[in-house]
Amino acid sequence: MRIAIVTESFLPSVNGVTTSVCRVIEQLRRRGDDVVVIAPRSREEGPATFHGAAVHRVASLPVRQFDVGLPVPEIERLLEAVAPDLVHVASPFVLGARGLAAARALDLPAVAVFQTDMAAYVRQHTPGAAGPAAAATTWRWIRRIHGWADLTLAPSTAALADLRGQGVPRTALWGRGVDASLFNPEWRRDALTRALRRELAPGGERLVGYVGRLAPEKEVERLAEVADLPGTRLVVVGGGPSRGTVGAVLAEAVAGSAGRPNRPPVFLGPRHGDDLARAYACLDVFVHTGTSETFGQTIQEAGASGLPVVAPRAGGPIDLVVDGVNGYLFDPSRPGDLREQVDRVLGEPGHAESLGRSGHDLVRGRSWARVVDRLVGHYETVLRSRATAPAVVRTSAA
């Protein structure tokens, strides 16, 4: 099968969309499929190929540290030249919208992967009473562009319900895999991991950690709730535009704690590969803070690393955290509940370790090979449906 992947984000930019696309390419290539990628041109030089897949770059503009691909006619010309069996559009909004419109104009089967809750982000970034109206407008755009796809795949039951509730047609569930060969409890035996742990917790502190992008929509400031838990230390892994704000909020929360404050929060910056796996392995509990996540890939990585997880009872995490099995869900609308759930994990001797073992058991079978096999099943369903459907005349939606 020949697949053209049109993605809003790709290397060298590293985020959830890029990671998912990279894993999909790897598995499709291992299956013997031909893959071509259409992605935004980046300010830093990106790869021309990835695992044997050619990467075509189109014009982009920098927006909040992202390279946003422009909806240029070149996308349609590339798809016409590639002549794929199917177009896979990752997290469509701008460049991806043009990709779906081009597929429609060329009468190519298209699968859209809903991955970013742009309506929630727009609402969060639009001040005052204009926020809900801006979110409603965003949903109208999402509904329109996903209507051009033969199938839209949602990563969680919550995201699927949102899409269907907003009237997006032809939807199905497709989750995400985790690299259990990279993220696993064995890293705790590693000499560099043990050295990092000694550096972060010289007094034997329990390490409460977050891994991910530091941006307003991630709501990392919520960690201030646990700043005064006795004998703990906050560890943040990642970077982004909110680094300064988050650092100030968490440092002030620790310093202002009653009694004897904990050690200041530590920021390890962005980490990748083995260094990221070591960072997970140093922690005692992983906290996911964002309430508008469509999935929560770092929750799976933490689980594969053998960590208990505390996450909001909202969005994607609801599918990934089972109360009392691999962690706890907190009520994001109730102040203090995050702290209560973290304390619940750490309060009883051995409880965190037991939750972490269960978490590892839950995710270790979610390999990217299996997940991409299910994705190919969705591809084949679309192709069969196209083969049996009556011919229609399609015009450009661009």
The vertex-198 CA angle with 340 and 274, nearest 5°, equals: 90
Same fold, 2-177+367-388 and 185-363: yes
* Three-class secondary structure assignment of the chain: CEEEEEECCCCCCCCHHHHHHHHHHHHHHHCCCEEEEEEECCCCCCCCEECCEEEEEECEEEECCEEEECCCCHHHHHHHHHCCCEEEEECCCCHHHHHHHHHHHCCCCEEEECCCCHHHHHHHHCCCCHHHHHHHHHHHHHHHHHCCCCEEEECCHHHHHHHHHCCCCCEEECCCCCCCCCCCHHHHHCHHHHHHHHHHCCCCCEEEEEECCCCHHHCHHHHHHHCCCCCEEEEEECCCCCHHHHHHHHHHHHHCCCCCCCCCCEEEECCCHHHHHHHHHHCCEEECCCCCCCCCHHHHHHHHCCCCEEEECCCCHHHHCCECCCEEEECCCCCCHHHHHHHHHHHCCCHHHHHHHHHHHHHCCCCHHHHHHHHHHHHHHHHHHHHHCCCCCCCCCC
Say if residues 315 and 291 touch (Cβ distance below 8 Å).
yes
Residue from 178, 363, 206, 190 nearest 283 by CA: 206
pLDDT at 165: 98
Which amino acid, 119? A
Measure the CA–CA gap between 126 and 130, rounded to whole angstroms: 6
- Bin 265: left if φ > 0, else alpha if -120 < ψ < 50, else beta: beta
Mean pLDDT by 10 residues, the chain (398 residues): 97 93 98 98 93 97 86 96 98 97 98 95 88 95 98 98 98 97 97 98 98 95 97 97 97 94 97 97 98 96 98 98 98 98 96 98 95 98 91 49
What's the pTM value of the predicted model, to 2 decimals?
Answer: 0.93
User: Domain map of the chain by residue range?
Assistant: 2-177+367-388, 185-363
Q: What CATH number matches the domain at 185-363, 3.10.28.10, 1.10.10.60, 3.40.630.10, 3.40.50.2000?
A: 3.40.50.2000
pLDDT at 64: 72
pLDDT at 398: 45
Superfamily in which the 2-177+367-388 domain is placed by CATH: Glycogen Phosphorylase B; (3.40.50.2000)
Residue from 80, 78, 71 nearest 106 by CA: 80
28 contact partners, CB below 8 Å, separation of at least 6: 3, 35, 372, 376
